[in-house]
Structure 1
């Protein structure tokens, strides 16, 4: 019973940690989505386009005509005439255009979702970069402290004439370099925060301690691609473009049907009044010429473009997925090797005990530092590549 309780507690702590990290990232991205000025402007643009599309299905304006003819030689009273008319297309045209407008709304929504995901992906990559910069800063602060201690030891040995000026200068240069690295990372962190603040509409980001999980093995390429086919707005937009083009073919076919005009007419002359209704018929013999053919050609283009674009997207997706697998395997080897060694600390201890000269210590420790830096860079690339591969989940 005790064993089960311990296991349950471990599982709870692990998933609680993962959930809190995920929630913190989602919270920041939610802030950016709400405050980003580009998204707000794009939403206003989409709203305007939707209203413009709907206005294209309105009836033409009614027409009012009046005639009063007092001039000329005539023995009867002055002639007057009044006429009100309303023209409209064949009723099925409005139904077809209304369906076409709804499909265009789907296109606009897909465009907005694509824009939103691009901005959120940029923000997520910025947060990943910020997290890695903070990791590096912690490491470099330790290295800076160690470099200072080494320099102080060399300074004491130099004062006792146990080492020469060259060793002292090398130790000082190494310490200065570490100071510069720390200052550069601090500047990079501030620049990244400024970039994130810009994405957040100029407002400061409310963010607690953001700690990201280590990269993990992704699902199979087929599983992720199936998710993309259903949720990626770039693919959704292609489908919407095809559906809109197909509906436009139906719309143009309906426009070949005749237009109508109905109205009221009044005529008054010689004390006699005549009034009544009238109707008219407009046959679109010339105006609709080649428009159906053009709509069909556009639909064929959208179909071909969808096939080509989808194939290119899958090819790029495969390349990114394979690159992720390659990096992940190499990163796992680095992490397993370096996690079992506390190389820098051991080398510093050995140097403090006099087992290494400064030159030997510096050459050895630089090798392990380069390996650690390379592992951190691979972790950053993996986090950002994973975000790119799973952009459809944003």
Structure 2
């Protein structure tokens, strides 16, 4: 009886503080999750880094003081102020690359957030399953304790055998262990949610699954998922980045220009004028255009790979959903119309079945109901994965 008391107290206490909405929990985790926060900060830093190097290099100032020899030969002084420029189109291409890289950040942040929130939603679904299981196990424990008590009284009167007593005791121990293990799992998954929530405690006591949306046909759903897939958008954005980098590598292969001012003082004479220079692009950027062309091809292959992989991933989830739904509906109809436990209790009380038959049938019913709860959980987990793009 103490197991029921502990479990009931646990659920009564936590109900007052529990967040009973998956949406509210996901909103909290999106705000508090340390991985999401650190990833946002990382990409903010990258955003700033992408803007580095868009301006020309710093100007260079040189001064030379050259005493003459022999004595009396005088001195020579030279002053150079020089600014180097890439070919003008290079600055346009650099900024375009940076803009495309910054645009990609949003897709990466969305993809990371969706991964975290899907994990959190799966934990919530697992907890709904465990909470429902806890209610069922409490009923079984109450029934097992009642049965054990009745057989103890019968045994004392000589109306039950030691075999009956042993079976009743084993049934009680088995259910007590299941209650204890389930309670432990509930605690563990609440701790996992708390971890995802950045350490702010979450105790989730919901026993009702979220409403299931109407699943459209596969082609419609697959197109919707692909249209909203941040990973695919990130791959397409990478393709744009590589295209711009290829254009930039061509611009960087053009001559660099150098301009500035020079003054020279020699033997009491002063010379002033401009400094002009140009680089001859012979080998400094050799193979850079070829490399960027290969990178562009690689990004195209990545898109093809992702499209193929994602298509079959969605297809497998969709087919799994269809299979689970058929079995789930059958289970749901079966258990909504029958109450085998009450029928078995009544038959045992009237002497219509033996204690051995009772325990066999009861365990069979329990196993079937456990399979139903497990299947119901898997059904909702698959739906959560299919609708990950909405997180």
TM-score by length of 2: 0.90
| Aligned partner of 1:250 among 247, 252, 259 | 247
Cα 1:23–1:374 shift into 2, 3 Å: closer
- 1:109-145 deviation line (CA, Å, top 9, x unaligned): 3222222111111111001101110000000000100
- 1:259-311 deviation line (CA, Å, top 9, x unaligned): 11121212122232222332221232212222112211111121122112211
Is the aligned partner of 1:369 residue 2:332?
no
Aligned residue in 2 for 1:125: 122
Report the more deviating stretch, 73-82 or 194-203.
73-82
Aligned residue in 2 for 1:58: 55
Over the residues paired in the alignment, what is the CA RMSD in angstroms? 1.9
Aligned residue in 1 for 2:10: none
- 1:59-110 deviation line (CA, Å, top 9, x unaligned): 2122110000114226453211111111111121111111111211233332
Distance 2:281 2:21 in 1: 61
Distance 2:159 2:207 in 1: 47
1:75-154 superposed matches below 5 A? 75-154=72-151
Report the more deviating stretch, 149-158 or 367-376.
367-376
| Aligned partner of 1:191 among 183, 188, 191 | 188
Report the more deviating stretch, 86-95 or 278-287.
278-287
Is the aligned partner of 1:168 residue 2:165?
yes
Cα 1:164–1:214 shift into 2, 3 Å: farther
Cα 1:182–1:210 shift into 2, 3 Å: closer
Is the aligned partner of 1:41 residue 2:67?
no
| Aligned partner of 1:342 among 339, 342, 347 | 339
| Aligned partner of 1:316 among 308, 313, 316 | 313
Cα 1:208–1:140 shift into 2, 3 Å: closer
What SS is found at the alignment partner of 1:266?
A: strand
2:190–2:204 contact (8 Å) kept in structure 1: no
1:64–1:85 contact (8 Å) kept in structure 2: yes
Q: Gaps spanning 5+ residues in structure 2: where?
A: 1-18
1:24–1:208 contact (8 Å) kept in structure 2: no
1:25–1:210 contact (8 Å) kept in structure 2: no
What SS is found at the alignment partner of 1:55?
A: coil
Is the aligned partner of 1:271 residue 2:268?
yes
Distance 1:392 1:49 in 2: 25
Is the aligned partner of 1:292 residue 2:284?
no
Is the aligned partner of 1:156 residue 2:187?
no
2:131–2:207 contact (8 Å) kept in structure 1: no
Distance 1:129 1:324 in 2: 17
1:181-260 superposed matches below 5 A? 181-205=178-202, 209=206, 211-213=208-210, 215=212, 217-260=214-257
Distance 1:308 1:192 in 2: 35
2:239–2:296 contact (8 Å) kept in structure 1: yes
Is the aligned partner of 1:302 residue 2:299?
yes
Cα 1:58–1:349 shift into 2, 3 Å: farther
